[in-house]
Amino acid sequence: MPDKGFNPELDLFRKCYQYTEDLEAREGGYYLIFRPLESGQNPVVTLEGREMINLASNNYLGLTSHPRVVEAAKEALDRYGTGCSGSRWLNGNMLIHEELESLLAEFLGKEAAIVFSTGYQTNLGAISCLVGRNDVIFTDKLDHASIIDGARMSLGRLIRFRHNDMDHLEGLLKREQDKGKLIVVDGVFSMEGDLADLPGLVDLARRYQARIFLDDAHGLGVTGPGGRGTAAHFGLAEEVDLIMGTFSKSLACIGGFVAGDARPVSWIKHRSRSQMFSAALPPVLTATARAALETVIREPELVDRLWTNARKLKEGLIALGFDTGGSQTPIVPVILGNEPLMLATTINLAQAGVFVNPVRPPAVPQGREMLRLSLMANHTGEHIDQALAALGEAGRNLGIIS
């Protein structure tokens, strides 16, 4: 550590100079994050010059390389240049943002939508401006980190309920009868790939006068009729007060939004700090998200293909003897339960030409270390067969399956 004459006890950089986890992992050959891909997010990716089957992407519908989507992005670049250079409150708002908002609202059967620059900022801004000092926010234990961060930024109190446990939630709601209440859940849980118990939540919300905010980042373009999401899957789009989503999964770029009744959306638009104090989503990304959404509407067979692939992979994994948890979607976990095994499996698969996401705490609870596999609409049956063969081999080598 460079000596600047600080009292080491008070130097908040001391921990940084003492932090060596990443160096040790690199040295040991198990640094499996921040891996620099040399290709796009396609069914086959290139890493260090080698082609690998990609079972790690959130590009569920494969739209990052869809000709219509790419063409729309190019056109927007030519027409508008690269950025908005300001908040939407001031100079950064564009007609194309508002057109995308109308399309999103219509797609989800809501009155209005408001677009943010990332999904993370959407949760941060929307949740924190809704939940006031006398309010309580109830979150599922497996909710995404951005929901928790949004809750922490709010003035209200955060209460977490056991994953999808409606009895537990009811007990907690009962104790807060005199408070404003917001229940926030992932529609599709991002690591386990299971669905929120929306019918149960809607029932509780009605009985205990709570509002529901659904983070459908992994449901949009995936679940429900034509990819209309988890609320539509349960026929509860009207009952869910706000539906949040991102463009970083099925919609092929980055950005986020919340859709709902016009007045709550207007409140979020005019009160969320991550909207106010951050620059607008660049037009090229706005055009990309719009073209991607138009493609979901025009080519619903992409959603069907994604599900066919997901079923094939999941059935194959179960036949091999892997634990795929409670997955109900194209997110398929392979539960391994400890970090050394998770790392060894990831390395083994990489050697066999399969790229997977190893997931450890804090993204999952301790003991739930897993590979988070995910499918794309444009994976071929052959890709999945090859990946299953590699998974079977790795699983047997490492004693995970027999």
**Residue ranges that bind ligand PMP, judged by CB under 6 A:** 118-120, 123, 144, 146, 186, 190, 215, 217-218, 246, 248, 254, 256
Strands of 331-335's sheet in order across: 331-335, 370-374, 357-359
CB 272, CB 126: distance < 8 Å: yes
Q: By 3-state DSSP, what share of the chain in percent is helix, strand and coil, each rounded to 5? A: 45, 15, 40
Rounding to the nearest 10 degrees, give the CA dihedral for residues 315, 321, 324, 327: 30
Residue 198 corresponds to which tokens in the numbers above? 């929306």
- Nearest Cα to Cα of residue 288 among 85, 46, 61: 61
Residue 362 corresponds to which tokens in the numbers above? 């804090």
Residue number, 144 or 290, with CB nearest to ligand PMP: 144
Backbone torsions φ then ψ of 258, nearest 5 degrees: -130, 140
In whole angstroms, the minimum distance from the beta carbon of 146 to ligand PMP comes to 5
Residue number, 44 or 363, with CB nearest to ligand PMP: 363
Residue number, 142 or 172, with CB nearest to ligand PMP: 142
Residue 182 corresponds to which tokens in the numbers above? 């917001």
Of 110, 144, 163, 249, which is the active-site residue?
249
Of 117, 128, 190, 278, which is the active-site residue?
190
Residue number, 124 or 390, with CB nearest to ligand PMP: 124
Closest residue to ligand PMP: CB criterion: 119
Peptide bond into 340 cis (omega under 30): no
Residue number, 282 or 392, with CB nearest to ligand PMP: 282
In whole angstroms, the minimum distance from the beta carbon of 301 to ligand PMP comes to 25
Residue number, 154 or 246, with CB nearest to ligand PMP: 246
Annotated catalytic, 250? no
In whole angstroms, the minimum distance from the beta carbon of 126 to ligand PMP comes to 11
Annotated catalytic, 74? no
Annotated catalytic, 190? yes
Burial 327-349 (b: 16+ CB within 10 A, else e): bbbbbbbbbbeeeeebbbbbebb
In whole angstroms, the minimum distance from the beta carbon of 116 to ligand PMP comes to 9
In whole angstroms, the minimum distance from the beta carbon of 50 to ligand PMP comes to 26
* Alpha-carbon span 2 to 57, nearest angstrom: 40
In whole angstroms, the minimum distance from the beta carbon of 267 to ligand PMP comes to 20
CA angle 317, 165, 247 (to 5 degrees): 60
Q: Which residues have CB under 8 Å from 67's CB, separation 6+?
A: none
* Alpha-carbon span 223 to 240, nearest angstrom: 15
* Alpha-carbon span 2 to 95, nearest angstrom: 51
- Annotated catalytic residues are 190, 218, 249
